[in-house]
Structure 1
Amino acid sequence: MAPQIALRDIHQATAPSWWPLAPGWWIVIAVVVAIIALAWFLRRRKIRRIRKLEAMFDDAVDAAPTPAAQVRAMSELLRRAARRRQREADTFEGETWLRFLDGGYKAPVFDSDAGRLLVDGAFRPGVDETDVRALRDIARRRFIEWMQR
């Protein structure tokens, strides 16, 4: 008979811990952090650019002494922005210009009361300041939209 072999109890190995993470998880975390940082940086840059454009628009309009001159300044800024979108856009006049400015909007914004100031408001002797303020809001929005592209 064979001598008795001393047997020991079988113990299972300890389960792997979640910490420290495997190298693949570190790579995934690094990529996610890099994407978040890049998105934050690009968003901050876009906001800074929008603020500069807003300041440029406001400074140019505020520098005009009269409401008619403010309308003229807004028209000039819109024509500069329109040229970035379509090369011959700065030559449009009257209804064609207003329809071009309304392009992309569901409802006509510039072909309405305040927007019509762009056609003849710069040449009128008495331009209402409330109309100029209303035009300023829509012109500023369109200017920034076109200058961002």
Structure 2
Amino acid sequence: MNPTLLNLKDIHEPEAIGWWPPAIGWWILAVSIPLLVICLIWLYKKFTRKTALKTAGKILLEIKQDSARDNLQKLCDLSVLVRRVAISMSPRAKAAGLTGRQWLAFLDSSVKGTPFSEGIGQLLADAPYRKTPPTELEISQLTDLCESWLKSQAKLKS
């Protein structure tokens, strides 16, 4: 048998598989990894916010019920607590450097009215300059105001 008579052609290999377009699995992977990372970050932030607020609520209750602390110490502890919560709940650059009236205006921004700037909340800014410690009534009102501020933070961030 003569190969020229049969008119046979040589075996042709298929073309190499190109890298574009990628298979559907790569598309799914390319979309799902960033989504997974975003979801994990969101869950982490949500979990830490709730934890910070729960802890702040417990500390506020301790301050409220501790009869060993004098009123000036309670005032300082309330001021520190509110500052820590504000820094953990909002961007650090937005809340950490505020003092005086700016600090009180920042606190007023998350509650109705202006209880910090024009009400009992002024104690948080005026405490270091007072000659006399605050009264029991002032501390009680300030504690209630801080408690309502904490509740408003929980509503804002959930």
Q: TM-score range by the shorter chain?
A: 0.5 to 0.7
1:105-116 equivalences in 2 (<5 Å): 105-116=111-122
One-letter code of the match for 1:90?
A
Report the Cα offset of residue 55 of structure 1.
Answer: 2.4
Alpha carbons 1:71, 1:122 under 8 Å: kept: no
Are 2:62 and 1:59 aligned? yes
The alignment's TM-score, normalised by the length of structure 1, stands at 0.57
Alpha carbons 1:81, 1:147 under 8 Å: kept: no
Report the equivalent of 2:153.
146
Query: Which structure 2 residue ranges, 5 or more long, are not aligned?
Result: 1-49
- Give distance in 2, aligned partners of 1:142 and 1:123: 24
Alpha carbons 1:114, 1:131 under 8 Å: kept: yes
Report the Cα offset of residue 141 of structure 1.
Answer: 1.8
Any idea what the Cα deviations from partners look like across 1:16-47, whole Å, max 9, x if unmatched?
A: xxxxxxxxxxxxxxxxxxxxxxxxxxxxxxxx
Alpha carbons 2:104, 2:117 under 8 Å: kept: yes
Query: Which structure 1 residue ranges, 5 or more long, are not aligned?
Result: 1-47
Report the equivalent of 1:87.
92
- Give distance in 2, aligned partners of 1:122 and 1:62: 23
Report the Cα offset of residue 123 of structure 1.
Answer: 4.8
SS state at 1:91 partner: coil
Report the Cα offset of residue 80 of structure 1.
Answer: 0.8
Count of paired positions: 102
- Give distance in 1, aligned partners of 2:79 and 2:134: 15
One-letter code of the match for 2:78?
M
- For residues 60 and 123 of structure 1, do their structure 2 counterparts lie closer, same or farther at Cα, with a shift above 3 Å needed? farther
Runs of 4+ in 1 over 3 A off after TM superposition: 48-53, 60-64
One-letter code of the match for 1:105?
V
